[in-house]
Amino acid sequence: MSLTRRGFLQGTSALAALSVTSPRLAFATDSLATTRGTLVVIFQRGGMDGLNVVVPHADNDYYRLRPTIGIPRPGTTGGAIDLDGFFGMNPALSPLLPLYQSGEVAFVQATGYRHDSRSHFECQDHIERGTLHLHDITSGWLNRHLAVVGGDANFQAIGFGGAIQGSLRGVAPVIGVSDIADFTLATDSAQKVVLESALANLYDANTLFSATSAQALAAVDELATAHPAQYPIEGGASYPSGGFGSQLRELAQIIKAGMGLEVACVDIGGWDHHAAVGQVLPPLLTELAQGLLAFRTDLGARMTDVTVVTLTEFGRRAYQNASGGSDHGSAFSSIALGGGVNGGRVYADWPGLRDADLFNGDLNVTTDYRTWLAELLEKRTGNSDIASVFPELAASPSLGLFRPST
């Protein structure tokens, strides 16, 4: 039979939604259980206001700098939920409180890296590359991690969204996923054979694209065989509506399918709050918290081998602006969730919020974010070659945020 131009384009439409950063010719087998567990990195794009998320309610300077946008003290209307007597969490994160109390959730405050840039693009680039001064390094920190540990599963690393995240870019193979439901060749079985032959003939076997298309086709075949969508939501989990909840639900299905997933990136945008932060921040935090709770509930006992962390490109300035928001800053806060997290506490070397304590008007960075990410890689994935992942990172004591995998 022949394959028409329309049939060819329809058949390759699934591949258009699947980006492969580097070729991998190995074909995955059924149930590729990973011994390194799964690391999920959620990037809050826009610059989340960490001071209104992990709230230093016992620091009076917080309310001096944020007289109208600061989260009220615990025990008052709309007040923070006390965590340890000094810090509290924004009440919109209340779905996470049971997980914090059970030791599965922890927070890191005053983390990040010192910089003078206020640019979203530059700061996202620094955070995702994991370097500040080594401009010749263009790969992302997660891709360098993958290059160190190796692996041959087609779905070892996934980036959800319209484009592969900067932290995943590099020589190690990564698949970009928009929606796993769209991962099918829009042809019948006979046309599929013709389509594969057409792709092979269109591109020389020695070209990068040929190898890349081979992996893409292998990934489509594996998805069809593993059929992750067959796995129902478990435990009464309820994902929030929208793209973020859908991606977490599909991520849980891929983990349940045992496809060898070790690294996944998910984005949630909308965190650039220069105005009316009191109105726009709570719905986003609720979506984030509900998504994390649903993901943990859905995976159940599987969460023992899954670790979730959140990052953002920068925090916000310590003092509020005239529009009821806050402008681009430095230090931020992060969330860690999973069976390997030493949770139930806030990890912070608190710098204080007196004028003399600030860094160019920002909350000062006292914990390099790469310090606890390095601990995460060492303890949860067994990667001891941290210098290859974070070449600028100086030796520093572990926070004790994570437990070693068993």
Is the pLDDT assigned to residue 109 strictly greater than 70? Answer: yes
**Which residues does residue 85 pair with via DSSP β-bridges, in sequence order?**
none
Q: Is residue 224 part of a domain?
A: yes
Q: Is residue 215 part of a domain?
A: yes
Mean pLDDT (the chain, rounded): 87
CA dist., res. 56 & res. 90, Å (int): 11
pLDDT in tens, 61-75: 999 999 999 999 999
Q: Which residue has better confidence, 5 or 78?
A: 78
- The pLDDT-based confidence of 4 (bands split at 50, 70, 90) is very low
Q: Is residue 395 part of a domain?
A: no
CA dist., res. 406 & res. 403, Å (int): 9
CA dist., res. 331 & res. 314, Å (int): 6
Is the pLDDT assigned to residue 271 strictly greater than 50? Answer: yes
pTM higher than the cut 0.95: no
Within a 13 Å sphere around the CA of 304, how many CA atoms are in the beta-carbon half? 6
Q: Is residue 43 part of a domain?
A: yes
Structure tokens, 405: 């995998």
pLDDT in tens, 35-62: 789 999 999 999 999 999 999 999 999 9
Q: Is residue 244 part of a domain?
A: yes
Structure tokens, 44: 């809050």
What is 182-235 written as a DSSP string?
G-S-SS-HHHHHHHHHHHHHHS-TTSHHHHHHHHHHHHHHHHHHH-GGGSPP-T
User: Helix or strand or coil: residue 328?
Assistant: strand
User: Helix or strand or coil: residue 176?
Assistant: strand
- The pLDDT-based confidence of 34 (bands split at 50, 70, 90) is low
Q: Running DSSP on this structure, what letter comes out for residue 304?
A: G
Q: Is residue 35 part of a domain?
A: yes
pLDDT in tens, 148-186: 999 988 889 999 987 899 999 999 999 888 887 765 444
Q: Which domain holds residue 276?
A: 8-389
Any residues with CB less than 8 A from the CB of 278 and at least 6 apart, and which?
A: 69, 324
Q: Is residue 205 part of a domain?
A: yes
Structure tokens, 293: 């709770």
pLDDT given for residue 162 in this prediction: 77
pLDDT given for residue 182 in this prediction: 67
Is the pLDDT assigned to residue 195 strictly greater than 70? Answer: no
pLDDT in tens, 338-358: 989 999 999 999 999 999 999
pLDDT given for residue 206 in this prediction: 57
Max Cα–Cα distance, the chain, nearest Å: 77
Percentage of the chain with pLDDT > 90? Answer: 70
CA dist., res. 256 & res. 21, Å (int): 25
pLDDT given for residue 83 in this prediction: 98
What type of residue sits at position 159? G
CA dist., res. 355 & res. 40, Å (int): 36
Report yes or no: 36 and 340 within 8 Å, Cβ to Cβ.
no
pLDDT given for residue 16 in this prediction: 43
| Mean local confidence (pLDDT), 7-26 | 43
Alpha helix stretches (DSSP H) within 89-207: 97-101, 120-129, 141-149, 189-202
pLDDT given for residue 210 in this prediction: 54
Please give the backbone phi and psi of residue 356, each rounded to the nearest 5 degrees, phi first: -70, -20
Is the pLDDT assigned to residue 368 strictly greater than 90? Answer: yes
Q: How many domains does the chain have?
A: 1
Q: Is residue 138 part of a domain?
A: yes
